[in-house]
Amino acid sequence: MDVFNAVIQVLDSTVRLSVPLLLACLAGLYSERAGIFDIGLEGKMLVGAFAGAAAASVFHSALLGLGMAILISVAFALVHGFASITHRGNQIVSGVAINFIAAGSTIILGQAWFQQGGRTPALGPGERFDAIVWPGADAVRNVPVIGPIYAELISGHSILVYLAFLMVPFTWWVLFRTRFGLRLRAVGENPAAVDTAGISVAWLRYRALICTGVLTGVAGAYLSMVQNGGFVKDMTAGKGYIALAALIFAKWKPVNAMFACLLFGFLDAAAIRLQGSPLPIIGKVPVQFMQALPYILTVILLAGFIGKAIPPRAGGVPYVKER
C-alpha cells in the first residue's frame, strides 16, 4: 500500500506540475499554428505570474489577479506581434527580447512596489485560487484504490487545473471545428492563400497571439496564485522553454500536447520524489541529472530518434506580399 500511495502522490504532483506547462504549451500552439514562433512564452508567463500576484494582493481578489495576469501577458504578446507581424522582425529575436524585458521588469517593479526583494506579498485566502474538493471526496478517501484516486488525483485541485485540462479538447475544437481555427491553421501553412481569400493575415495572427497571451497569463497566474502563494523572481525557471519543447514533441497537436506536458511534469515530480534516494538497480541518481532529464529527452526527441516533427510550413517567416 505504501508503494501505491507513493505512486498516487507522484501522479498528483505530476498533474500539478504539468498544468503550467500545458497552459504555456497550448499558448504556444496557437501562435505557432498561425506561423509565429514564440520563444517568449517564458517571459509572458513570468509577467503573468507577477501581474497576477501583485494585483491579487493589492485588490484582495484572486479573480482580479487572474484578469490582470491575462491583461499584461496579452500586452506582451502584442509587443511580439508588433515586432514580428507589423514590422516583420525576426521572431526569435523578438521572443528573446520579451524574455529579458519580463525578467528585468518584474524584479524592478516588484522591488519598487513591494520592497520584498522582488517578491510580492504572500497571498492570503481569497487572494489565491483554492483547491476545490469534489463532492464525496472525503467520504471515499478510505475506499481502497478508487478512494485515493478520486480524492487525491481527481478532486482537490484549483479551478485553474481543471481549466487547463479542459483547454485541451476546447483547443482541438477551436482548431478543427471553427472558422477561426481553419483560418488560423491556414495562415500558418500558407499566408498568401489567406490573403488572397480576402482575410487579413496580420489581424488573424494578432488574434492568435492574443490567445497565446491569455493562456500564458493563466499559466503565470497558476504559478504565483496556486502553486505558490505569491510571486518570486524568475519563478518560471525555464518552464516556458520546456513548454516549447513539449509543443515540438506534440507535433503541434493539442491532445499530444497534453501527454507531452504530463510526461515532463511526471519527470519533474519523480525528480522531486526521488531526491537523494537510490533507485533500484541504477543506484543513487544525482538530482541535477533528474533536473536535466527533460532537456536531454527533448534533445533526443529533436534529434528525430522518435518520429519527425514537421512544423507549420510558414512558421518563423514574416509574411511579405509578393508580386
Residue 136 beta carbon to another protein: minimum distance, rounded to whole angstroms? 37
> Does 178 contact another protein by CB under 8 A?
yes
**Cβ closer to another protein: 82 or 134?**
82
Strand, coil or helix: 127: coil
From candidates 6, 93, 131, 143, binder to another protein by CB under 8 A: 93
> Does 170 contact another protein by CB under 8 A?
no
> Does 4 contact another protein by CB under 8 A?
no
From candidates 8, 199, 270, 274, binder to another protein by CB under 8 A: 199
**Cβ closer to another protein: 157 or 239?**
239
As a residue count, the chain comes to: 323
CA 47, 53, 57, 60: dihedral to nearest 10 degrees? 110
**Cβ closer to another protein: 31 or 158?**
31
In contact, 243 and 41? CB cutoff 8 Å: yes
**Cβ closer to another protein: 37 or 150?**
37
Cα separation, 260 vs 263, whole angstroms? 5
> Does 180 contact another protein by CB under 8 A?
yes
- CA 299 to chain CA mean position, Å: 20
Locus of grid cell 491553421 = 185
State the angle between helix axes of 254-274 and 287-302 in degrees (0 to 180), rounded to the nearest 10. 160
List CB contacts of 180: < 8 A, sequence separation 6 or more: 174, 207
Q: Which three cell numbers stand for residue 81?
A: 506581434
Strand, coil or helix: 283: strand
> Does 83 contact another protein by CB under 8 A?
yes
> Does 179 contact another protein by CB under 8 A?
yes
Cα separation, 315 vs 149, whole angstroms? 41
List CB contacts of 299: < 8 A, sequence separation 6 or more: none
Segment interacting with another protein (CB under 8 A) among 123-131, 145-153, 186-194, 205-213: 186-194
Q: Which of residues 207-266 bind another protein (CB under 8 A)?
A: 238, 241, 244-245, 248
Q: Which three cell numbers stand for residue 261?
A: 506536458
Q: Which of residues 14-33 bind another protein (CB under 8 A)?
A: none
> Does 98 contact another protein by CB under 8 A?
yes
Residue 13 beta carbon to another protein: minimum distance, rounded to whole angstroms? 20
> Does 295 contact another protein by CB under 8 A?
yes
Size of residue set near another protein by CB under 8 A: 72
Segment interacting with another protein (CB under 8 A) among 27-35, 51-59, 216-224, 313-321: 313-321
